[in-house]
Structure 1
């Protein structure tokens, strides 16, 4: 769990722009210096906002309760092949339902691998694709990952995630039931997968952007949507999305977690809100149980 220095409120919207590629590292530091006590304070602030993967890890990569491996699926409409990380319980009796875990806009980093193992321990075949695989995969550095993400072909990246979902549906480890959970960019992709894969049983986007309104009637899955209270960029799309969901008769639940920041489930950074994250995660596992088991 991330426990770091208090973050000035002015830093959150600035950091959100930086995280999503709307502001360079230099731009963040220059603007943060105005309220962080100068350049040194701005650099310390950015360091405090950066993830601490080791401190937040909940399930070790070699946890004896799990089997893990690298897994690839064909992606003819994307980059040819989608690669990722698969985890499942070691003592599974028979085939299990599957859950696709879609990362934020940094690729398959240690945090998302840990989330994947957490999902697997709940009784699922969990698979996390790596959108950065065509560019060499997660580079081990968040700033470098941020730069690489801007070089992706967005259409091919989306196609790779959809291909991962379809691959999981047919994978020998699974029983044909499929859900998806995604965070930030992955939340947007969870919504997208729901419009593209009619066999999907449930989609759980955490602070994800809405799909195109004309695609919403194609959604057959049940939706559980988690939004941060302080997330103007993402929340601006919700009223229109909700109207489209109602018009299409899609079954959904939506929760806004007051006072939280975009990324509140990410326990590697100070954006983490433990109370809201636990509540959202409990709701997520409950809807997986209701729809997949």
Structure 2
């Protein structure tokens, strides 16, 4: 399973994971998380990355007047702050836009530009490798090259809403957060191919669920309490499908995405343990794979509206 790095806000700029440092030191382009930490001069409020540096980061940073150097990922941003005018210079090109909720910003991999943003910024960023963009394009059979366009405060409420909601779904649970990040990346990549390339692609929806045997095998993997790999890649490979088609077939069969199914399963496990045992909440959190009691309690409250302790008292 890909390693996920989860980090809440801190006072120091985080050191890059090894995979990201290797990219930064081994070529002319830094991993996106490395370059963003340098130019924003702060730590992310929340971050979930794999070893390659691909993933999601939520930043709250001060006004910016600096050059963003070439990066080894495409960076797609959704803005969540106060309305403000900004300026972006790429070579001789100058783009003046208005940051507001519902717009997206795209920095294609390898590009560089100077940014002048006069007010503080609240933004969620997706770091997308070109290999992922090409894979999804191939799996979806778009038949067109996967080259993202540069966008500056471009209206796209669909992409913006998907990306902004992502930061609130991260739960401090490695398997859940990995599965969610992978699903979101494929979903957003599909959207980007349809709306933000030089030749936008019409991606036709696929129909038809998994066979009963294949569905049962996928559910057994998701329910396993062992160290079974429940990444999207492993689930899809076990079913003999691409990630793109597996997600759609699984949801067609169950009504839920793989991430939502596993999230619901973990909630049911938590409820059974709270109701039927006297195990401390901190032990239940550890047994279910949460990074801390706080992360477990926040995830439980998000789904039930109650803390684990309050739910236990009411359920008994």
- If the TM-score is normalised by the length of the shorter chain, which range does it land in? under 0.3
Q: Decide which structure has the larger Cα Rg and report it.
A: 2
With normalisation by structure 2, the TM-score equals 0.24
With normalisation by structure 1, the TM-score equals 0.26
